[in-house]
């Protein structure tokens, strides 16, 4: 029996879940979906195909009033509507969505897809992406990979000096006009909004999670991987296991370096100080324009914790496969990886 890829598995799980739910509903049941992201839209489309037409999206901070010809409502409006059923519109931590719903005084039945963390929240599949995965698998076997973050220490460890390896970087690295990575990674809509005009000029493969497809589908040289929140597999295969997000492009770059056959992975610019406050978390004080709002300090500290855990998980999987991982970031970052001095790294020319 042929193994299902992650997209096929996700679609099958969602379909089976909805089939079971539909046995308890009638066609004029009022159904509200908490969220407006790709997963929420996919669930909505399947319900519409099965003739459920009294559908609504809602969000904690609704910025739109309509999506795919369906209303987008506030939580207060949903409370007044009193739907027959509320569906979690996110695969991540549905318990938090349930808590928000109950605190709003909504007593409607609440359902979510269980054990969905290993599935892909954007179940879109393109054979072209599968072909690319096949092409890059062990493409650079035995090479050193430089996984480059955007922390403040990058001012003292310029990646422009690195030679003899495959350079991976992303997001605002594009601000460094003299630096060109071999692979550029983008994680979210904000990165596209801020830096895409410059990304177009790179002329290198751009690696993006599948949920950015609708935003970037008309762009050239972009390859989409199925993202997930976690995986039980010791060996990462983008097509079959997905790539765990880890809340940072750094962990994604480590997984792809592993998939491409890295012998060594060198970490650089991973200060992991997201909680330091706006203007102190990246190599340039102009990394974000003034229009980007400041991050809540408590939230920033939590993000730093999640990022450290995500990076550590990616490192552990690489090390299980015998890959040597060293860290040239000249500050303490809590990653528990052997350090290498940047000047020494430059002299080695990738021959660790």
- Give the pLDDT of residue 1: 47
Q: How far apart are CA 305 and CA 165, in angstroms?
A: 29
Question: For residue 119, what are the contacts with CB-CB under 8 A and spacing of at least 6?
Answer: 6, 9, 10, 13, 14, 91, 113, 228, 242
Per residue in 246-301, pLDDT (tens digit) is: 889 999 999 999 999 999 999 999 987 765 554 567 887 778 787 787 777 777 77
Topology alike, domains 6-111 and 127-348: no
Q: Which residues of 200-238 are buried (b: 16+ CB within 10 A; e: fewer)?
A: eebeeebbbbbbbbebbeeeeebbbbbbbbebeeeebbb
Question: For residue 19, what are the contacts with CB-CB under 8 A and spacing of at least 6?
Answer: none
Q: In what order do the strands lie in the sheet with 264-268?
A: 222-225, 206-209, 183-185, 166-170, 144-148, 264-268, 324-327
Q: Look up tokens 């709003």; give the residue.
A: 104
Residue ranges per structural domain of the chain = 6-111, 127-348
The per-residue pLDDT of the chain, averaged, comes to 91
- Give the pLDDT of residue 290: 77
Q: Which of the pair, 285 or 23, is modelled with greater confidence?
A: 23
- Give the pLDDT of residue 263: 98
Greatest Cα pair distance in the chain: 70
Q: Which of the pair, 300 or 194, is modelled with greater confidence?
A: 194
Q: How far apart are CA 43 and CA 268, in angstroms?
A: 40
Task: Give the residue-averaged pLDDT of 93-100.
Answer: 92
What's the CATH code, domain 6-111?
Answer: 3.40.50.720
pTM: 0.89
* Contact present, 232 and 288 (Cβ < 8 Å): no
Task: Give the residue-averaged pLDDT of 219-232.
Answer: 89
Sign of the Cα torsion 130, 131, 132, 138 reads positive
Quickly name the fold that domain 127-348 has. Answer: sialyltransferase cstii, chain A (3.90.1480)
Task: Give the residue-averaged pLDDT of 74-102.
Answer: 94
**Percent of residues in the chain assigned helix, strand, coil, to nearest 5:** 40, 15, 45
- Give the pLDDT of residue 300: 76
Q: Which of the pair, 85 or 286, is modelled with greater confidence?
A: 85
């Amino acid at each position: 029996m042929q193994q299902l890829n992650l997209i096929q598995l996700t679609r099958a799980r969602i379909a089976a879940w909805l089939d079971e739910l539909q046995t308890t509903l009638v066609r004029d049941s009022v159904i509200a979906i908490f969220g407006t992201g790709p997963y929420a839209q996919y669930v909505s489309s399947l319900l519409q195909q099965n003739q459920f037409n009294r559908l609504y999206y809602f969000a904690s901070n609704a910025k739109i009033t309509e999506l795919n010809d369906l209303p987008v409502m506030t939580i207060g409006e949903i409370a007044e509507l009193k739907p027959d059923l509320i569906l979690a519109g996110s695969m991540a931590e549905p318990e938090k969505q349930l808590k928000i719903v109950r605190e709003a005084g909504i007593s409607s039945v609440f359902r979510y897809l269980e054990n969905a963390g290993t599935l892909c929240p954007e179940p879109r599949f393109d054979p072209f992406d599968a072909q690319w995965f096949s092409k890059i698998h062990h493409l650079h076997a035995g090479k050193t990979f430089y996984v480059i973050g955007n922390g403040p220490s990058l001012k003292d460890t310029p990646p422009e000096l690195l030679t003899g390896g495959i350079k991976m970087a992303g997001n605002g690295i594009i601000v460094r006009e003299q630096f060109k990575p071999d692979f550029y990674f983008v994680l979210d809509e904000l990165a596209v909004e801020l830096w895409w005009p410059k990304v177009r000029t790179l002329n290198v493969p751009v690696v993006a999670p599948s949920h950015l497809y609708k935003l970037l589908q008309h762009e050239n040289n972009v390859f989409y991987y199925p993202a997930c929140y976690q995986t039980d597999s010791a060996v990462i295969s983008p097509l079959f296991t997905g790539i765990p997000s880890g809340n940072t492009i750094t962990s994604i770059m480590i997984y792809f370096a592993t998939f491409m056959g890295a012998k060594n992975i060198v970490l650089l610019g991973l200060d992991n100080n997201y909680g330091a406050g706006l203007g102190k978390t990246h190599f340039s004080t102009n990394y974000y324009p003034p229009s980007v709002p400041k991050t809540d300090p408590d939230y920033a500290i939590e993000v730093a914790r999640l990022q450290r855990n995500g990076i550590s998980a990616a490192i552990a999987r690489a090390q299980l496969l015998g890959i040597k991982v060293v860290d040239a970031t000249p500050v303490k970052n809590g990653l528990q990886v052997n350090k290498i001095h940047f000047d020494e790294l430059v002299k080695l020319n990738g021959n660790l």
